[in-house]
Structures are given as C-alpha cells and as structure tokens.
Amino acid sequence: PDRVIEVEWSSPKTPDGSVYPVDVAVEAADRQGLLRDISEVFAKEKMNVIGVQTQSVKDNRGGTARMTFTVEVAQSGRLNQVLSIVADVQGVRSARRR
C-alpha cells in the first residue's frame, strides 16, 4: 500500500545549515565517462554526493546505465535546478528524485 508522508522543507537557507539526504535516479545511454560527467554537475553545483550506486545493462539500445546518487539537499527548489542540468548531460534519458 502507498503511504503519504507530510514533509516540510525549511527556508532557503536554514539557520543551522541543515541538509537532507535525497536519492536521485538517473537513467542514461551507457558510455565511457558518463559517471564522471554527472558527478561533475553535482560538484560544479556544490551539491555534496554521499553515495552512488551504478548498474549497466546491455539492451536493444546498446546499453543502459541506471544510477542512484544520494545527495545532500538544503531546499527542494535547488534540487530541481540541479536535476535539470543533469538531464542535459549527453545521453541522459531521465533524472528524477526517487
């Protein structure tokens, strides 16, 4: 059964600097340097990555990479901005919050 959990994001900059771990799912055409390119987006946008899981599968499209990044987020709007940039990385088919 589905559950709904109420969440309240804090103001743009929390006084105590609180951050929240958020899982981000990325699916892309597998290629050399893909993990580096996506990680570079998080680094340039100053979003701390605290975990990564990757899986590559061969399919009728040549190969698909499925990745889950755990990132530290202070506000949801910022996450949406960064996901938009990740979605523009060459070969990325989707980038979304899990």
pLDDT tens for residues 18-48? 899 999 999 999 999 999 999 999 999 999 9
- From 71, 62, 58, select the one nearest 26 (Cα to Cα): 71
Q: How confident is the model at residue 60 (pLDDT cuts 50, 70, 90)?
A: confident
Is residue 8 domain-resident? no
- Strand segments (E) across the chain: 20-29, 49-57, 64-73, 92-97
For residue 89, being part of any structural domain is answered with: yes
Q: Which letter does DSSP use for residue 73 in this model?
A: E
80: domain CATH number? 3.30.70.260
How many structural domains compose the chain? 1
**How many whole angstroms separate alpha carbon 12 and alpha carbon 95?**
22
Amino acid occupying residue 18: S
**Containing domain of residue 88, as a range?**
20-97
- Is 87 inside a domain boundary? yes
What's the farthest any 2 CA atoms get from each other in the chain? 50
Can you read off the two tokens belonging to residue 5?
């959990």
Reported pTM: 0.79
